[in-house]
Structure 1
Amino acid sequence: MMERISADVAIIGGGIMGSSAALFLRRMGLSVVLLERDLCGSRSSGVNYGGVRRQGRPLSQLPLSQRAQGIWSQLPELIGIDGEYLRSGHLKIARSEADLAALESYREHTRDFGMALEMLSARALRERCPWLGKAAVGASLCPEDGQANPRLVSPAFALAARRLGADVREQTRIDEAAHDGSAFVMRSGDALEVRARHLLNCAGAWAGTIAAQFGDAVPMESGHPEMAVTEPLPVFLNFSLGVEGGGVYARQVARGNCVIGGGRGYALDDQRARVQRSGLATLMQQTVELLPTLRNAHIIRTWSGTEGYLPDRQPVLGPSATTPGLIHAFGFAGGGFQLGPAVGAVLADLVRDGQTATPLAAFSVSRFTSNPRVATTGLVPSAVV
């Protein structure tokens, strides 16, 4: 027999955004069902690089990122662990004079956001970071940015929500999602039916399928970042490292392993992705140019994942353009881990209050659609989500 349950809010997607939304909603006293096709935090929220940075984000994202910065400092109280969160500082490397000019311009435009960015000349950089290679000619340091372990943090939000009474359903694939005129209805085969007054679409790279079913079609594409981790090494890298203009990013954890990212892998199918041998070789060459210490380091594991990218590299975050009660949060283009807890808090605001103090205009789904706001009714089978 089909199990039928009801809640104030149903959430599709158990990554850091869906799980943190579940936690904040439960703290508000609302009933929540969290539906995850795999295990919570097992997709991009759990396999990303682990950077917790504000530096380098578009100005439109900084209010959201600043809100997240405050939440990250409360992790032990919120989820019961620190998640290896460390404000190590984020160092963004310049490899040319043009890069330095871009970093200086960014510092000027972001002075009102309290990041305290510090420009480092080539000489100051060498004195502070003697482990850097000659490719680095300067840098911008954000001292309060940092890093965390996504494999610990993302699932912990779901566990914390469950402890507060959220109904967390893992390994539950949603086959149908629609509004029947009175409530949202989600079905998982012939085993489960969920009814809810509000629906949060937090399905990551697969969220476009859900959005399209409700008339909010967006031109989202999937990307597959390449990641690698080295054997444990003597600790030398005391910052989370990025590069102006993109490319390599790297950090070193307390046990000595260096986590390295950059480049693009490929999809095996709609669920699995892998690194490319040629891409990994290029990534490691670029890494060694910046971090010569890694020249003879052994790579002990590589992986990739699947992330959603929109043409403007900005997310969709906010109400549906067509269906009252539907709220989207997807398309974070590889930068969603740091933002995740604030996205969850914003989603909870929108459910409870219908508004939020965090500016969201740049993230409206309406930038991709001119559809009038009309409710979608009738159950229509969806693609696998």
Structure 2
Amino acid sequence: MTKTLDAVHTTDQLPESTTVVIIGGGIIGVTAALTLAERNIPVVLLEKGHIAGEQSSRNLGWIRKTSRHFEDVPLALAADKLWAEMPERIGQSVGYKQSGIMFLAKTEDQMAMHEAWLKSVDSLSLDSKMLSLREINQHVPGGKGHWQGGIYTASDGRAEPSIAVPAMAKAAVKKGAIIVQQCAVRTLSTTAGKISGVVTEKGEIRCEQVLLAGGAWSRRFLGNHGVSLPTLPVIASVLRTTPMEGPTQIAVGGPDFSFRKHKDGGFIIMQRGKVDAPITLDHLKIGVKFRDQLKHGKDSLNIAFNGTFFRDLAMPRSWRASQKTPFEHVRVCEPKVNHGLLNDAMNNTISAWPMFKNTKIEESWAGLIDVTPDSTPMIDRIKTLPGLTVATGFSGHGFGTGPAAGQLAADIVSDVPPIVDPSPYRFDRF
């Protein structure tokens, strides 16, 4: 966990009933709670650990349209507007800046990939454009990399995960939402085949609707109710440098590194070309659904059979409401940092921009990411459990669309016209 994460102080009292219960205190659950509270819909958010304790504070903070699937861009466009309005909405800065995002291409194949994406979204009238090496050096001076070119979207940006999600949570409470931390939901209650409440470690809450926004924990929670959610875990390691004079305010993604300016003056850096993919039992159960991803992205996956398999295997996959759950055994998931990947990231960054040579690392962390077979989330009702909606499987790029994704989930729960067409996120597409 990043040590810059703001704490949120909330009640310990569990209400007897509400209209909507949200499971999960990441950016999706928090923005859904904020939206529902603003609509005067009674809502209780329950978090097994603390607000933004996992991937919602461990991501890079990028807010991008670039390289998203065509069907996912409208949600990103809606999120841009919501991010810009957020300081006025909640009365606090979240570090949002439209400072631009640039992706670099080292090979002709990588350049062709960016060109193909730009052509695919031509009808959306984005401000994305291809860059030459000369233009890259103008935007990000001091570089020594020999690039084929790049793609740049000036309206893309960034925000600070460690302050944004807590700030939204505090605003939601001020507007009427109830948030209870250190309170795991064990099971769903049903009456006549429909959701009627949730059973937590502190007791039961009656409700009309439940929104599950549990990130990487959602698959295990749904599995206990006989619903198979097709997600697998990967782990990304990230570092933050001490303050330094950097080349740009633009976030830069190379094939094997990325960096972006942090509010404290340092840079957030990772090895963009590799993530850890420890084998779990779920790989054996549903891995076939991910064969296309494995075929095209195997070079970016550091696949390993290690202690993660046995720790996962020892964790229950089914339980009763009276039993202690995995969510109580692991309040906050703390994956092991891969310092080898971070060393690669620093070396690759220094090779491209030598001004990073003498910088020092302030901290490092790792986050667990839930990935779907098509890298697109599920935001939809679960037909077999009437009254349950899920918003999960954001595949490592949920922070950027978070405000709009949370609002879309709130729209579905409260049965109002959705902020964007929800069909790309339907649960049954798999």
Query: One fold, TM greater than 0.5?
Result: yes
Residue from 104, 107, 110 that aligns with 2:121: 110
Report the CA distance shift for 1:184/1:293 in structure 2 as closer, same or farther (over 3 A): farther
* 1:290 alignment counterpart: 352
1-structure distance, mates of 2:117, 2:170 = 38
**SS at 1:236 equivalent:** coil
2-structure distance, mates of 1:4, 1:70 = 34
> C-alpha offsets along residues 210-231 of structure 1, whole Å, 9 cap, x if unaligned?
3234443123111111100111
Kept in 1: contact 2:141–2:248 (CA 8 A): no
Residue from 142, 150, 161 that aligns with 2:153: 142
* 1:174 alignment counterpart: 185
Report the CA distance shift for 1:291/1:178 in structure 2 as closer, same or farther (over 3 A): farther
* 2:268 alignment counterpart: 259
1:32 and 2:29 are equivalent in the alignment: no
The CA deviation at 1:254 is 4.7
The CA deviation at 1:295 is 2.1
> C-alpha offsets along residues 243-285 of structure 1, whole Å, 9 cap, x if unaligned?
3xx5422101354201112333578766221212322222222
Kept in 1: contact 2:246–2:355 (CA 8 A): no
Residue from 339, 347, 370 that aligns with 1:308: 370
Report the CA distance shift for 1:254/1:13 in structure 2 as closer, same or farther (over 3 A): closer
Write the letter of the residue equivalent to 2:151. S
**SS at 1:284 equivalent:** helix
The CA deviation at 1:3 is 5.5
Residue from 379, 399, 403 that aligns with 1:341: 403
1:248 and 2:257 are equivalent in the alignment: yes
2-structure distance, mates of 1:256, 1:137 = 30
The CA deviation at 1:30 is 0.6
2-structure distance, mates of 1:136, 1:229 = 25
Report the CA distance shift for 1:338/1:68 in structure 2 as closer, same or farther (over 3 A): same
Kept in 2: contact 1:9–1:196 (CA 8 A): yes
* 1:376 alignment counterpart: none
2-structure distance, mates of 1:255, 1:219 = 38
1-structure distance, mates of 2:407, 2:72 = 15
The CA deviation at 1:237 is 2.1
Report the CA distance shift for 1:80/1:99 in structure 2 as closer, same or farther (over 3 A): same
Kept in 2: contact 1:15–1:155 (CA 8 A): no
Residue from 268, 277, 282 that aligns with 2:339: 277
* 1:186 alignment counterpart: 198
1:230 and 2:209 are equivalent in the alignment: no
Report the CA distance shift for 1:142/1:306 in structure 2 as closer, same or farther (over 3 A): same
Report the CA distance shift for 1:41/1:118 in structure 2 as closer, same or farther (over 3 A): same
1-structure distance, mates of 2:195, 2:174 = 26
Write the letter of the residue equivalent to 1:172. C
1-structure distance, mates of 2:355, 2:129 = 25
The CA deviation at 1:203 is 0.5
Kept in 2: contact 1:219–1:310 (CA 8 A): yes
The CA deviation at 1:128 is 3.0
**SS at 2:48 equivalent:** coil
Kept in 2: contact 1:184–1:198 (CA 8 A): yes
1-structure distance, mates of 2:135, 2:187 = 58
**SS at 1:211 equivalent:** helix
2-structure distance, mates of 1:351, 1:186 = 16
Residue from 14, 18, 35 that aligns with 2:25: 14
Residue from 137, 160, 177 that aligns with 2:171: 160
> C-alpha offsets along residues 109-166 of structure 1, whole Å, 9 cap, x if unaligned?
1123232112111122223322223243311110011111100001111111100111
TM-score calculated relative to the size of structure 2: 0.80
Task: For structure 2, list consecutive stretches of 5 or more residues without a partner in the other structure.
Answer: 1-12, 279-306, 312-329
> C-alpha offsets along residues 326-365 of structure 1, whole Å, 9 cap, x if unaligned?
1111111110001110011111211222652512223222
**SS at 2:188 equivalent:** strand
The CA deviation at 1:105 is 1.8
2-structure distance, mates of 1:337, 1:343 = 9
2-structure distance, mates of 1:10, 1:114 = 38
Report the CA distance shift for 1:188/1:363 in structure 2 as closer, same or farther (over 3 A): same
The CA deviation at 1:174 is 1.5
1:239 and 2:301 are equivalent in the alignment: no
2-structure distance, mates of 1:248, 1:93 = 10
* 1:367 alignment counterpart: 429
The CA deviation at 1:317 is 1.2
2-structure distance, mates of 1:293, 1:109 = 36
2-structure distance, mates of 1:128, 1:158 = 36
Kept in 1: contact 2:270–2:342 (CA 8 A): no
Range 140-149 or range 114-123, more displaced? 114-123
2-structure distance, mates of 1:308, 1:298 = 30
Identity of aligned residues (%): 28
TM-score calculated relative to the size of structure 1: 0.89
Q: Give the number of equivalent residue pairs.
A: 364
Report the CA distance shift for 1:38/1:254 in structure 2 as closer, same or farther (over 3 A): closer
Residue from 318, 321, 333 that aligns with 2:383: 321
* 1:195 alignment counterpart: 206
Residues 344-359 of structure 1: matches in 2 within 5 Å? 344-353=406-415, 356-359=418-421
1-structure distance, mates of 2:150, 2:258 = 14
* 1:332 alignment counterpart: 394
Kept in 1: contact 2:22–2:213 (CA 8 A): yes
